[in-house]
Every structure is written in C-alpha cells, then in structure tokens.
C-alpha cells in the first residue's frame, strides 16, 4: 500500500472552545491549498482507492475538496483514528483495515500526523518531520520499515508550478 498522509488545509485561527474549534471550516487560502495539492497529486499520477478523514470539519472539507479534484467518486470514510489526540495503535488498526488497498489518502491533524509519520519510518518515533497545513507525505508501506518517498507542502508546490510556467531556456534574439 502507498499511504498519503495529508494535514488539513488552512482553517484560520485556533479556537479555545473545543466544540467551536471542531466546527472550524477551511478559509479561502485553505480551499486554494486543497486545489493546488490535488493538482500536484494529479501531476504525479497518484491513484487513490480510499480516502479517510478525521471527523473534524476542516479535515473532512480538505478530504472532500481533494477527492473531488482527483475524480474520487466514493464517499470519504470518517475515522476517529485520525481525530486530534488519536492513539498510534488506533492509527495502526486503521492502516491494517486498508492494507489490501493500493493507494490510501488519510487526512488529519498535527501533532499526531508528524508523530505517526516519525513512528512509521523509524519504528520508534525518533524522527521529527514538519508537516505544514496542506502538506502531503507519500509513504511506501510495503517496505520494512515503511519508507518516506516524498513530502510536499503547498509552498513547494507553488514554487514548482511557477517554475514550470516559465521557460527553462533563456530567450535569444534572432539575427
């Protein structure tokens, strides 16, 4: 299985009240991050068989926007194993449930995601990997230990798209 871990896109400022914070949706910048990252996944020819999301609104919206842009037609699965404060054991059980799938996109939150990613690739959590909002990590779960193949955040994706639109050859005058 190829696992794509995606941190939810920008949802504005944190709210002290947990009930209100759980209902916090994506802001305009967050929606743009979703479209940019989905286009990046399309450019990389990523194939997704199942999308699983945290139950919080901002993660679910991220999963739905990216899924729509990728042409994903099934319903996004909601899992408490991706909610803030979820245990690594619950995350492992979720991964085991989808082990027969080829491509799984899981959308959740930090600090859980960078901790889960660190534990996946080191076995003991010894790696600290920064995942900005909207970032996507590709992990080859068939390797032992699983191997991080790449990590792309919206800033890098924007830079790549900007460089692709410019000509790689300098213009010369014709004589």
**Would you say residue 168 has pLDDT above 70?**
no
| Mean of pLDDT values over 164-168 | 62
**Percentage of the chain exceeding pLDDT 90:** 67
Average pLDDT of every residue of the chain? 90
**Would you say residue 162 has pLDDT above 90?**
no
Radius of gyration of the chain (CA): 17
Contact between 79 and 53 (Cβ < 8 Å) = yes
pLDDT digits (tens, 9 = 90+) for 35-87: 999 999 999 999 999 999 999 999 999 999 999 999 999 999 999 999 999 99
The confidence score (pLDDT) of residue 114 equals 87
The confidence score (pLDDT) of residue 122 equals 87
| Mean of pLDDT values over 82-94 | 95
| Mean of pLDDT values over 127-133 | 86
DSSP label at residue 160: H
pLDDT digits (tens, 9 = 90+) for 107-117: 999 988 888 99
**Would you say residue 161 has pLDDT above 60?**
yes
Q: What is the rounded distance in angstroms from the CA atom of residue 161 to the CA atom of residue 44?
A: 13
Which of 30-44, 64-78, 96-110, 123-137 is predicted with the least confidence, judged by mean pLDDT?
123-137
CATH of domain 2-165: 3.40.50.1240
pLDDT digits (tens, 9 = 90+) for 142-153: 988 899 999 999
Contact between 29 and 13 (Cβ < 8 Å) = no
The confidence score (pLDDT) of residue 46 equals 96
Query: Which residues have CB under 8 Å from 22's CB, separation 6+?
Result: 55, 56, 57
**Would you say residue 18 has pLDDT above 80?**
no
Domain edges within the chain = 2-165
The confidence score (pLDDT) of residue 173 equals 55
Q: What is the rounded distance in angstroms from the CA atom of residue 61 to the CA atom of residue 56?
A: 9
């Amino acid at each position: 299985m190829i696992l794509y871990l995606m941190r939810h896109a920008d949802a504005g400022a944190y709210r002290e009240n947990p009930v209100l914070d759980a209902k916090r949706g994506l802001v305009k910048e967050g929606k743009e991050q979703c479209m940019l990252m989905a286009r990046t996944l399309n450019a990389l020819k990523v194939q997704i068989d199942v999308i699983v999301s945290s139950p919080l609104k901002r993660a679910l919206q991220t999963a739905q926007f990216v899924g729509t842009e990728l042409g994903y037609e099934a319903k996004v699965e909601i899992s408490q194993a991706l909610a803030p404060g979820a245990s690594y054991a619950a995350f492992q059980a979720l991964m085991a449930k989808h082990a027969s799938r080829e491509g799984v996109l899981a959308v959740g939150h930090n600090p859980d995601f960078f901790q889960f990613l660190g534990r996946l690739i080191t076995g003991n959590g010894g790696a600290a990997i920064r995942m900005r909002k909207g970032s996507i990590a590709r992990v080859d779960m068939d390797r032992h230990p699983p191997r991080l193949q790449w990590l792309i955040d919206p800033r890098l994706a924007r830079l790549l798209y900007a460089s692709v639109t410019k000509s790689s050859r300098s213009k010369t005058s014709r004589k």
